[in-house]
Structure 1
């Protein structure tokens, strides 16, 4: 069993490397094509390969969709089978973190919550894989305040790490609405960059496909790389207007790392993206959107 999983993991990493190589070639081809179409000098980085790239361009047509993505393999059952989510906490959680984990569990239809106890991460991941769990969600805290969320997609990854800010739980919101169990409609705003689309996929496939008459809406709105999470239900008051009711919880998320692996091998997994906070342009750059 271990040998089989290891082989599948190596195949996945090989496909990822092939995809990166093909994408690099595709980008160079587009630079050559745009330079020829606009009758300007070729970019210096593609001049040595220009003739070869031009020959490759002759075989391109308008029907292709670019380089196929390893994301197709990671989420190949998305939309076909409902995701199976397990929610747990860091070791020795406070009562507030336990309550937040319960609320996170209610966000995902059909999710299960497990008390962490003394279980190691490797044991959790192996148990999830044995029971066909598609995603493991772990919430963390500092001094009783929830401040971290890890989403590990199984069986091969990716694993996304988020910092949480301004967490307001359901019981802290006055006159909060009841929690609907319907499959929610999802709203994603301002995820326009390549990394933004990647994060959008990681979050989107945590939820099953909703029915058209669902009155539940979950919003992920990106502004300056802070993702605002909001959860509402709605009802029609008349033929023109609707009334929103907040369900909670509400918080802001900030992505700081994506790894191409699962939590039990995070020390050796390749880093797909990492936020470098202490560079000179860190405060000015935006990664999840193209502005």
Structure 2
């Protein structure tokens, strides 16, 4: 069969070409995300094996140093492990002790974070106002109207635009009651309860809000979980300049994190005038998941359990015991 002449062959319209180009671009982006996800899951799969080898080496090293008998379960492979220990140094041990959690914030401080703030479906006017004020808290942040977007569409759009953190605010009867922070592209996702919210216009004599990168103050985040929460909150802010007059405080007391926002100016040689610019609220962590918010089958790193509400077990973020 003879092909049609070039003049008679159908040509693609400009709209069809644009559609085809967008589909090809989306396909390439999807393949890249799948490849990066497979690499991330592979690092997680070998993590337990590396940690087990490191733990066996440390047990044998402690037994040799203290002059004790090598544990029974390690006697069969003690000779091979001791030969491998000759080539180990402190730097390799530090690298082996790292986990996939260290990769989540590997570029923190090198590049400024990009934060997107959005709300639940059909937000009230008070929640919209709180989202606007929360957007002003984070430099280089954008507020997104939720509309009818589902969670997977939000995460996909944020990944396509190199967003580092997605913040979602929830409410109950017009009062903000939940804050969700999802670090992209792989997680973690931290969920907080939100109480005692005070807007900027509810604070008397409120000052003007600066949009410079703030100095951060973290108080009483002394446990391993506290350091994890501190990293999740800290890396949503860029590195501030030394002359920045803006201060953001996260003060933990009995696992309730108080948020305060101030600006200051020097009123004398040794005097500083502090002025609150709001908003203010209290956070309480109740879950950290090792994945993004749109994923369901992910590991839960930490979760607030009902039996943890006793007085002696409440201090999970700090090492200080709760007050009687």
Tell me the TM-score normalised to structure 2 length. Answer: 0.80
Give structure 1 stretches of 5+ with no counterpart.
Answer: none
2:144 matches 1:114 = yes
Q: Tell me the CA shift for residue 71 of structure 1.
A: 3.5
Q: Which structure has more helix as a fraction of its residues? A: 2
Q: Where does 1:187-206 land on structure 2 (aligned, <5 Å)? A: 187-206=217-236
Q: Where does 1:110-259 land on structure 2 (aligned, <5 Å)? A: 110-259=140-289
Q: Tell me the CA shift for residue 206 of structure 1.
A: 0.5
Question: Which residue of structure 1 aligns with residue 33 of structure 2?
Answer: 5
Q: Secondary structure at the match of 2:73?
A: coil
Could you tell me whether the CA contact under 8 Å between 1:232 and 1:247 is conserved in 2?
yes
CA distance 1:280–1:247, shift in 2 (3 Å): closer
How many pairs are equivalent? Answer: 287
Q: Structure 1 stretch 193-202 or stretch 132-141: which is displaced more?
A: 193-202
Could you tell me whether the CA contact under 8 Å between 1:160 and 1:258 is conserved in 2?
yes
C-alpha distance in 1, partners of 2:38/2:288?
A: 18
2:73 matches 1:48 = yes
2:50 matches 1:22 = yes
Give structure 2 stretches of 5+ with no counterpart.
Answer: 1-26
C-alpha distance in 1, partners of 2:124/2:305?
A: 30
CA distance 1:250–1:39, shift in 2 (3 Å): farther
Q: Tell me the CA shift for residue 35 of structure 1.
A: 5.7
C-alpha distance in 1, partners of 2:189/2:300?
A: 10
CA distance 1:68–1:101, shift in 2 (3 Å): same
CA distance 1:230–1:56, shift in 2 (3 Å): farther
RMSD: 2.4
Question: Which residue of structure 1 aligns with residue 129 of structure 2?
Answer: 99
Q: Tell me the CA shift for residue 283 of structure 1.
A: 5.3
CA distance 1:252–1:23, shift in 2 (3 Å): farther
Q: Tell me the CA shift for residue 235 of structure 1.
A: 1.1
Could you tell me whether the CA contact under 8 Å between 1:276 and 1:282 is conserved in 2?
no
Question: Which residue of structure 2 aligns with residue 274 of structure 1?
Answer: 303
Q: Secondary structure at the match of 2:237?
A: coil
Structure of greater Rg: 2
Q: Secondary structure at the match of 1:10?
A: helix
Q: Secondary structure at the match of 2:297?
A: coil
Q: Deviations over 1:244-289 (max 9, x none)?
A: 1111111111111111221222x12222222212358685243223
